[in-house]
Amino acid sequence: MPRLKRQPDKAPPRERILQAARGLFYRDGINAVSVDAIASAAGTNKMTVYRHFSSKDELIAAYLDLLAAEGEAVWAEARARHPGDPDAQLRWLMRQVSQWASEANGRGCALANAAVELAERKHPARRIVETHKRHQRGRLVDLVREAGYARPERVADELFLLVEGARMCLQSVGRAGPGSRLFALTEELLGSAPRKKPLKVHTA
């Protein structure tokens, strides 16, 4: 789908509503934001919101889908920047994530925050978060394996927890806390984790 560059106020209503929801949901939390507030921020009214999204839950799901799609795009960018070099892709990803974590006004990962707010286990939007996070984790394991680490699941899980923990800590403790050391910790982990020995070629 080609992306049109438009002025925000010229964007079609569905897109304007989704972008308004995105800004408010992330800043204030999903439960704290009313459909009225979203309609007003999008320069429209509640009826128009409900014409495009049958319920607030559907709008939440669309918001999470959008975030997941953006998450996917980051992996594509890593590959595009360092084609055929999984080690460089991995380090680039960790640098990006560390930078974003420290820049995001301390509000951390929008998908993880949504999981905290969607306490009801069966909430339909939870599945989007879960699927995306599982997917990311699987991909991280693959990339760590391609980068030649001896125990890819272990290294990937540790990276995953460090990233999630840092984004959480930046919210609860702020920048003076351990969250700000994410990049140093992941760099050190990647530098010290054992690599596989190159395969020995058995000659007959």
Please provide residue 118's backbone torsions phi and psi, each rounded to the nearest 5 degrees.
-85, 70
Binding-residue pattern over the window 10 to 39 for its own copies, x denoting contact by CB under 8 A? -----------------xxx-xx-------
The string of DSSP letters for 61-121 reads HHHHHHHHHHHHHHHHHHHHHSTT-HHHHHHHHHHHHHHHHHHSTT---HHHHHHHH--ST
Please provide residue 36's backbone torsions phi and psi, each rounded to the nearest 5 degrees.
-60, -45
Residue from 172, 175, 195, 196 in contact with its own copies (CB under 8 A): 172
Structure tokens at 67: 């975030």
Query: Which of 122, 132, 107 has the alpha carbon at shortest distance from 30?
Result: 107
Interaction of residue 45 with its own copies, rule CB under 8 A: no
Structure tokens at 74: 């980051």
Interaction of residue 150 with its own copies, rule CB under 8 A: no
Q: Which of residues 93-122 bind its own copies (CB under 8 A)?
A: 106-108, 111-113, 115-117, 119-121
CB closer to its own copies out of 85 and 158: 158
Interaction of residue 162 with its own copies, rule CB under 8 A: yes
Interaction of residue 166 with its own copies, rule CB under 8 A: yes
Interaction of residue 174 with its own copies, rule CB under 8 A: yes
Q: Which of residues 63-92 bind its own copies (CB under 8 A)?
A: none
Rounded CA gap, 162 and 181, in Å? 10
- Judged by the rule CB under 8 A, the positions of this chain that interact with its own copies are 27-29, 31-32, 106-108, 111-113, 115-117, 119-121, 129-130, 133-134, 137, 154, 156-158, 160-169, 171-174, 176-179, 181-182, 185, 188
